[in-house]
Structure 1
Amino acid sequence: MEVQESYPFDVEAVRADFPILDRKVGGDPTTIGQDDSDDIPLVYLDNAATTHTPEPVVDAIVDYYRGYNANVHRGIHQLSQEASVAYEEAHDTVADFIGAAGREEVIFTKNTTEAMNLVAYAWGLEELSAGDNVVLTEMEHHASLVTWQQIGKRTGADVRFIEVTDEGRLDMDDAAEKIDDDTEMVSVVHVSNTLGTVNPIRELADLAHERDALIFADAAQSVPTRPVDVTDLDVDFLAFSGHKLCGPTGIGVLYGRESILESMSPYLYGGEMIRRVTFEDSTWEDLPWKFEAGTPSIAQGIALAAAIEYLEGFGMERVQAHEELLAEYAYDRLTDLGYVDIYGPPGDERGGLVAFNVEGVHAHDLSSILNDYGVAIRAGDHCTQPLHDTLGVAASARASFYIYNTVEEVDALIEAVSGAHELFA
C-alpha cells in the first residue's frame, strides 16, 4: 500500500489553510513577492523550530485588532469586556486541551523558556538550598538545562543528569539512582527536539513523587503533536509554546497544580497581578492572574485558543499518526542511503523529527545546499549542546514534520541530501 494512502486526513485540504506553503524560494531575497518564475517550491521541514499559521488563526488575530482591540481587566466599556472575556476563555480552552482542572492552573507566558524561568525563580529560589538536587536529562533543551543550572549556582543545589543510552533513550536505572531523597525537582523533556525520543513522563513522575519531589515536563514538542493530559502524566508543571502548534509567536503556557501555584510568590510584579496596593505592602490577585503581570499578550492568547480549536478539528491522535508516519518514512529513506548517521530511536519509536548527519558534509553546509533545492531544515546544535557533546558531533541536521507535510516532501529531502553527498564526494 502506498504511504499516502495511510494519511489520517486530507493533507492537500490542510495545505490550503496555509498560503505560505505556496511560496517559491530562491533568487534575490530583496525581491520577495515579485517575479519568482525562476524560483522553486518551498518544502518546509523546520516545524520543530516553528510551525506555520493557518488562516483561521490569522483571522482570529485580525478579528481582535479590527473588532474589539482593548486592554483586558481594566475597563468597564464594551470593548474591554469583550476582550477580557475572549482572553479569559482562551485559558479555559487551553485547560480543556491539556486536561487541567481549570483556568487557575493555566498561566500565559511568552514561551516555554519564560515558563521554565517562572518556576525556577518563583519556586526554585525559595525552595532550593545546598544539599538539595534537581534532576534533568542529558537531552534537555537549553531552556531547561541553563535555567536550572543557573538556579543551582545561586542556591547551592546540585544539578544531576540522567544518562542517555546509545539508542537515544533515557537510562531508567540511572534515573532511579539520580532521583533520591534529596531531589526536589525533576525537569525532563517530553519529546526530545534532537533525538525524537518520547520519554516516559508518567514513570518519571512516579519516581519523583515517591521521593516527595516535583516534576516539570517540557512539552514544547509534545503538546503540538500528540494527545497530552497533565492528569494522566501526573506532572506538577508543564510548559509549551503557541508558535509550535499553529499559533502565533509571543505566547506560551505554564501549567501548574493549583495548590503549588497558590503557595508560590509571583515572579514579576506590577499591574494586573495585584489585588491591593498601599505604600507599605501589596497583595496578589487570584490565579492565574497573579503570574501575568502587566498588559498580557491578548491577541496572541486569543489566537492560541483558535490554534487549539483548529488542531482539535483533526483530533490529536490523528496529528500524532501523521507525524509518526512521515518520521518513520524519512528515517527509512535516509537509512537506505547508506551514508547517513541518524540519532535517536528507530523510525517507528520516535516523534515527528529526524536529526542526522551526512558523511563528509557539515550540517551547516548541508542546510545551505538543501536550501538551494527549496528544502528548509534546521542545522546546528538545536539548543542541545551538551547532548551533541555526548553524541560526539558538533552539529546535526534536523528535518521535522507537521500536519501539512507530505511523503513527496520527504522524497524531495532525500533527493536534496543525495545531491549534497554527491557534491562533497
Structure 2
Amino acid sequence: MRIFFRILATFWLVIFTGVALVYFVPSVTLPNAIENLRSLPFSKLEECAKKAAEEHAHGTKVQKPASDCFEGRLLPAGPAPATDVQGRALTREEIALVQKAQGRNETAFLGLPDRTVIALRSNPAAANSSMFLATVPLRHGRFAIWSFRRLSRPIFLSGLISFLLAAYFVRPITRLSEVADQFGSGDLKVRVAGRLAKRRDELGDLGRGFNQMASRIEILVTRQRSFLAHASHELGSPLTRLNIALALAKRKAGVSLVPELNRIEQEANRLNGLVQELLLLARLESGNELDRNPAVFDVLALVEEAKDNAEFEAKQIGKSVISLRADSFHVAGYPDLLLRALDNVLRNGLRFARANGEVQIDCYPKPDGSAGVIHIQDDGPGIPLGTEESIFEPFVTLSPSGTDPALNGSGLGLAITRQAVLSNGGTVKALSVLGTGLTVVIELPLHPS
C-alpha cells in the first residue's frame, strides 16, 4: 500500500475512533451533581409545576418562571410531547427523560455536561397530568471534570494511534538521515538496509535510490583514488631516472649551463615532492597507511617537535612560532601521520603570515575530558567566509587578496592533514575571518593513560 493511502486510512481511523468514543460511549455519571440535587427544594419545584399547570388550564399566558423555579417549562399532557406549551422544541435527551418519568410515574433526572434537567408531574396524584421540566445549571468546575472524564479515553487512544503513526513514518526517515551523515563523513560503504530497503512505498523507493546513488559515487571516488595512486607510482620511476640523468649532466656540462641545470633540478625536486604527496594521500584514503597497530603517544611531545621544525624554517624568513598553552594529553593512533599533519598546517601558516608575523600553536585537553585540542593560528590575511571546508580538498588553493599566488603550493598539504587526523580518530576544521588570519582546530579522542 502506498504511503498516501496509509496516511489517509490512519487519520480516518483516528478521527472515527474519537468521534465514536465521544458520541457512542455511555455517559459518565456525575455523583457530585446528583449529590447536589438532594439539597434542592423539590417542594418549591412542585409548586412551580402546579402553578404553571393552573395558569395554562385557565387560559392565562404562562409567565417567565421565577429564578427559584430554575427556568421550568410546562409540557402539554400526553405521551412523549416534543414541545412545551409555548411551542419550544425539546431535545432528544429531554424527550427521553420525559418518557422515562411518565413510564415510571416518578421524578427523573438527566445529567448533562453543563446542567441537570429534572422532569416531574405538575400533579403527582394524577397519572395523566402535564410534565414540568426544570433546568439546574452546574458549576463550571464540575463541567470541566465531566468533560475531562468523558474525553480522556478518546484523547488517550487517538494520542496512542498518532504516536504509532508518527513513529512509523519518522523512524525510517531518521535512519536514512543517519546513513546519509555516515556517507557524508567518508564512509562510502554504508547503505540503507533492513526493513527500510524492503518497503513498498515512497520511503522504500527513497532508500533504494540512496543506495544506487551511494554505489555510483563509491565507484567514481574509488576510480579517482586508484588513478591518483597509479599515476603517482608510474611517475616515480621516470623522475628517479630524470634525477640521475640530471646529476650526470651537471658533471659533464660547462659552467655556462649550471644555472639552467639548477633550475631543472629545482623543478624536478618540486615534481618529485608532489608525486610523494599524491602517493601519501592515496595511501591514507585507501587505508594502506593503517596496516599497523596504533600506538599510545604524548601529543604535547609531538607538538613540541613540530614547533621546533617550524621555528627552524621561520627564522629563515623572519617570522616566529609561539606557544601560550602547552598541556600534555595522550592519544592512541599514528604519531608519524599526526606529525605530518602538524608540519603541513604550521608550514601553511608561516607561508601566509604577515611579514615579521607569528604562528601560534597551543595544545591542551578540554575541561570536560571529551577530547584533546591542538589550536594553530596565524596572523595572515585569512580566507573568505564559506571556504573553510574547501581548503581540505585535494588541489584546492585559495589566494587571498594581496598575496602572491605562487605561495599557494600544490593544494595537497591540508588534504593530507585531514586524512592524517581522521586516521587518528580526530576531526579538523578551519575558522577564518578575512583579514584576521586563519585558525585550524584539531580535536583528538583522549586515551585513558
Range of TM-score over shorter length:
under 0.3
The one of the two structures with greater contact order (alpha-carbon pairs below 8 A, sep at least 6) is 1
TM-score normalised by the chain length of structure 1: 0.21
